[in-house]
Structure 1
Amino acid sequence: MVVQDKVAVITGAASGIGRKTACRYAEHGASVVVADVDAEGGAETVERISDDGGEATFVETDVTDPTEVRTAIETAVDEYGDLDVLFNNAGIEGSLNELAEWDDEAIEPVIDVNLKGVFYGLKYGIEAMLATGGGSIINTSSVGAATGINGRSMYCATKAGVNGLTRTAAVEYAEDDIRVNSVLPGTTDTPMIRRSDQERDTDRLQLNTSDAMEGRGQPRHLADAVLFLGSDLSARVTGVELPVDGGFLAGP
């Protein structure tokens, strides 16, 4: 029970990595605010946690709206009395096109969700943690922040930006006992990746990834990494970009 009695806000928790992490935190004794724009999926996550005896609340949250992000964080403090962990996980993949073929209007949504959404989470999460004595913030980046992914130029660019925000916030708030780290998923079996697999219909857009370990990553692998980073087991870990990628970035 490594996060017993802690309070966590998890964005993008209606499915995939976010849902699995919310359930994992609840299993380990945390109270969880499930934040997502998908009300049906968010309610299902809360139901799963409740059915297993955990504590969770859903807040419909569009991370591109700073007011809604702030409301999700304030709900944690109002409902459970604290904010110990914030997992800025919500993200979108955007268009699947080579860079020169991207429509101009397709750029902004990716920046708004993947980069601004994390910024707003950091801003209001830090504000709450300064008032409650510190905490841990984890941001979802990607191996695409460290290497190119065919067809995902803006996705990779925003995830590199997430790492920049992570490092800066970690340095700025270390003295306030606020730790900030990022996780870098490799190819993980999520709805996003399954959509992407179906869209890659030309040789030029095929994934240029090959994990050193066999098989494909699962949401539980990310959930356990985020659980570690949110717990006191990682009390001296901050500013870290942690790949959870089966050894992909370690390869040639």
Structure 2
Amino acid sequence: MSEIDSAPYRIAAQPYYRPVGNEVDLYTAAYAARMPMMLKGPTGCGKSRFVEYMAWKLKRPLITVACNEDMTAADLIGRFLLDINGTTWRDGPLTLAARMGAICYLDEVVEARQDTVVVIHSLTDHRRTLPLEKKGEVVEAHPDFQVVISYNPGYQSLTKDLKPSTRQRFGAMVFDFPNPDVETEIVAHEAGVDSITAVKLVEVAQRSRNLRGHGLDEGISTRLLVYAGRLIAMGIPPADACRTALVRPLTDDPDMQDTLDAAVDTFFG
């Protein structure tokens, strides 16, 4: 088989990522050992950006799969397709990454059905192989190949959880929202706002996160803070930007919206 062109899957420019601990060193060591990795943390806390940054730093191509409940094993490994020449095999993203030596990132993996997730098992233990039963081929993973999965533990349930047989194939890193000073630095950089505005946005987020389990499943994410900051940078009044990017996406409950609107008015009223 001819060599696969990895150029479309390489991160050309350095993604902005602000380390908050020793996560870069930990992941670098895990990749050197080709240890499959599991990233756990709330929505919008930087897991996907971290994977992009590490792919860039390690100079590896990155293939990302947004998992969902309708995804089948064939969507991951590939299928035969009809074309003008008859039937042609088309590799799925997992197979392509294994052949290429890419990092394969399965984002929000618990959204996928468990019978779909098990196809990664043979790639995440000592075998590092992927059987393509329909094609009658066993793919030997490239030496540089690695699987990374992520999910939000806050959304776990009995129907959306990883089997122990899957969990115990991975090392794990836990992510959370950074401390206020670091988060302020991130928001100011990513949104292009001044530090005073960034501080106020982070304060609003802190208020919302204190309500987790008291009317909110999740607090305002760093991602949403960046969205609000970008609206402000474009000239939208701060209170309007916050309601549009922070409050209304988070909840449909009128009382909770009023509570969050009051927090916005405290800092931007």
TM-score, normalized by length of structure 2? 0.35
